[in-house]
Amino acid sequence: MNTREQFLLGIRFVLIVALGAVIGLMLGRTWVPGTIAHDAVYGTAVLFDVGYGTPEEILPSFVLGSYLGLLALFTADWRKRVQGVLLIIGTAVGLYALWTRGVLLANIDLYHWTNVAALLGGLGTAALLEFGAIKRQAFSTSIDHIEFDIAVVSVFVSFSTLAVLGLLQAVSVGAAVPIVDVPATIAFVYVLFGFIAYDATTKTAIIGPRESGKTTSIVGLYQRFSDRDKIPAETSPALDEHIEEVDTMAEDEDFKIRGTQETHDIGFYFQVGDIFPMRARFTTFDHPGEKIDDIARELRDPPGVKRRLQHIGIWFSEMLPGMALSDHQREIQFYNHVRTADILMLLIDMERIVENRPAYLSDLKTIANGTKDTCRIFVVATKSDLALKDYAGLQQQLKPGIGDELLHDDDGMEKSPADEFTDNLTADRIQINELMKTVSTDVIYPVYFMTKQSEDGQSLVPDLDENGRLQPVGYEELIERIENEAMKNVRV
């Protein structure tokens, strides 16, 4: 549970209780005989004149039942558990406020069987709305995955409609206290809207030179997220292909991941948050790495008029069915993706560092310069296994599954493996220091896949676990940071 979620929980609780009371009282005040709404409801009640009980009690019982039914379905949705409980509390407060004004529950004899039947009828009607989803999920879906999309939207529509109609009625009969009721209604709809939103799209781009581990690190991220999350990841076709390449890898075989020839959309869903869980999409473009200097050149300046016109052209081509984008258009689309990304992962290829080859750090710096104001940048060191022997002390700490264990430096201060790694690496190259200053970060995240000497001793090959799977290391801390970043897109 992160602090932002705790903060959201506190604020939302206070808001819902306060707004439930204010709106309940407003609805109570406006419930005056002889007004439009009152007459309309009493007129409708005639429909419920079934020969038993009192129609004026049966109608509200039915309506109340359907509200409670919707709320129950809403709360059953795995993403809406806490929001549901908050709304139940708010509804109880509202009903109590109405009751003190002698409205609704105060007038319904809940011991009379017709009213109980009407209430149950309302509950059943709400369930009918989600009949398909209930049938589909009843026996096959675990309680942790149940989703009721219609109920989620219906709760928003019905609860906010009630509040808005109540406000209009209050104004028209002169029972409103505008200075309180108007902001309360607006705030209520706003908070409710926050409750129904559940897809935060996190636009990400992973940038590094050729063969720097862009594709493999996407697969590593995916593997870590999918091990952790219970929700389906809904991978894009291009990612599926890479996962298959990884899945079919044999012992003592090198990475099979094919070099990227064109720009592909790569993405999957992951879960953000525990209290208010959401699905966030991790999207990126897998691109042929040779482009890194092109990307740097492109991002050096803001887009000119020509570029903007080209964007419009691309936008049109995408709208029209049967129009394929040209390679050049895809390239421009990718530049735009980088420019507008929420998260950028800049890769430092440790293979190039240990072999003293150029690692395109100045291009990375240029790209960081062009994007740092609008996005969150993480500097990630790939293939860090190659550097572990040079960076004593890390080897023990950086192992699969224990990426965030703390080290202790000479003064007994706590240090994460990433901090330790960063200190070593920045001492190595001046340019890395410059890159970090540009990004204003003080940490580089080391990641790698467990590797071992191949049997012929000629090369390094991935060290697979007992299930034949790659063993990504160091991703825990990184995905925690990505998650925190995605969480920031959630508003109160």
Ligand X SMILES: Nc1nc2c(ncn2[C@@H]2O[C@H](COP(=O)(O)OP(=O)(O)O)[C@@H](O)[C@H]2O)c(=O)[nH]1
Which stretch, 81-89, 267-275, 433-441, 448-456, contacts ligand X (CB under 6 A)?
Answer: 448-456
Q: Is 391 in the site for ligand X (CB under 6 A)?
A: no
337 binds, among Mg ion, ligand X, none (CB under 5 to 8 A by kind): none
383 binds, among Mg ion, ligand X, none (CB under 5 to 8 A by kind): ligand X
Half-sphere exposure of 439 (CA within 13 A, CB side): 27
Tell me, what DSSP letter sits at residue 40? H
The position carrying tokens 């970090």 is 436
Q: Is 212 in the site for ligand X (CB under 6 A)?
A: yes
Which residues in 449-468 contact ligand X (CB under 6 A)? 449, 451, 460
Which stretch, 8-16, 256-264, 299-307, 462-470, contacts Mg ion (CB under 5 A)?
Answer: 256-264
Which stretch, 30-38, 51-59, 208-216, 272-280, contacts Mg ion (CB under 5 A)?
Answer: 208-216
Q: For residue 39, which phi and psi values (nearest 5 degrees)?
A: -65, -40
CB of 451 to ligand X, least distance (A): 5
Nearer to Mg ion, 215 or 284 (CB): 215
Q: Is 448 in the site for ligand X (CB under 6 A)?
A: yes
**3-class secondary-structure state, position 480:** helix
25 binds, among ligand X, Mg ion, none (CB under 5 to 8 A by kind): none
Query: Residue 1 burial (CB < 10 Å; 0-12/13-18/19+)?
Result: exposed
Query: Can you tell me which of 28, 84, 213, 474 binds ligand X, judged by CB under 6 A?
Result: 213
Residues in the interface with ligand X (CB under 6 A) total 22
* 402-411 long-range Cβ contacts below 8 angstroms, 24+ apart: 402/476, 403/473, 403/474, 403/475, 403/476, 403/477, 404/476, 404/477, 404/480
Q: Is 216 in the site for Mg ion (CB under 5 A)?
A: no
Which residues in 344-383 contact ligand X (CB under 6 A)? 382-383
169 binds, among Mg ion, ligand X, none (CB under 5 to 8 A by kind): none
* Spatial contact of 17 and 89, defined as CB atoms under 8 Å apart: yes
Contacts of 398 (CB under 8 A, 6+ apart): 384, 388, 417, 421, 446, 448, 473, 474
Structure tokens at 265: 């959309």
Residue 372: strand pairing partners = none
366 binds, among ligand X, Mg ion, none (CB under 5 to 8 A by kind): none
Which residues in 304-333 contact ligand X (CB under 6 A)? none
* Spatial contact of 381 and 394, defined as CB atoms under 8 Å apart: no
Nearer to ligand X, 188 or 268 (CB): 268
Amino acid at 381: A
Other CB atoms within 10 A of residue 438 CB: 18
Q: Is 154 in the site for ligand X (CB under 6 A)?
A: no
123 binds, among ligand X, Mg ion, none (CB under 5 to 8 A by kind): none
Structure tokens at 406: 């703390």
The position carrying tokens 């998650």 is 483
Query: Can you tell me which of 386, 407, 418, 479 binds ligand X, judged by CB under 6 A?
Result: 386
57 binds, among ligand X, Mg ion, none (CB under 5 to 8 A by kind): none
Nearer to ligand X, 269 or 449 (CB): 449
Which residues in 219-258 contact ligand X (CB under 6 A)? 254-255, 257
Structure tokens at 232: 């389906």
Give the C-alpha separation, 445 to 443, whole Å.
Answer: 6
Nearer to ligand X, 416 or 471 (CB): 471
Q: Is 71 in the site for ligand X (CB under 6 A)?
A: no
Nearer to Mg ion, 238 or 278 (CB): 238
Q: Is 83 in the site for Mg ion (CB under 5 A)?
A: no
397 binds, among Mg ion, ligand X, none (CB under 5 to 8 A by kind): none
Give the C-alpha separation, 278 to 74, whole Å.
Answer: 14
Number of residues written out for the chain: 492
Structure tokens at 311: 């964007």
Query: Can you tell me which of 260, 397, 438, 451 binds Mg ion, judged by CB under 5 A?
Result: 260
Amino acid at 265: D
Give the C-alpha separation, 375 to 355, whole Å.
Answer: 31
Nearer to ligand X, 3 or 261 (CB): 261
Q: Is 215 in the site for Mg ion (CB under 5 A)?
A: yes
* Spatial contact of 348 and 457, defined as CB atoms under 8 Å apart: no
Residue 150: strand pairing partners = none
Structure tokens at 474: 């160091």
Binding site for ligand X (CB under 6 A): 208, 210-216, 254-255, 257, 259-260, 289, 382-383, 385-386, 448-449, 451, 460
Binding site for Mg ion (CB under 5 A): 214-215, 260
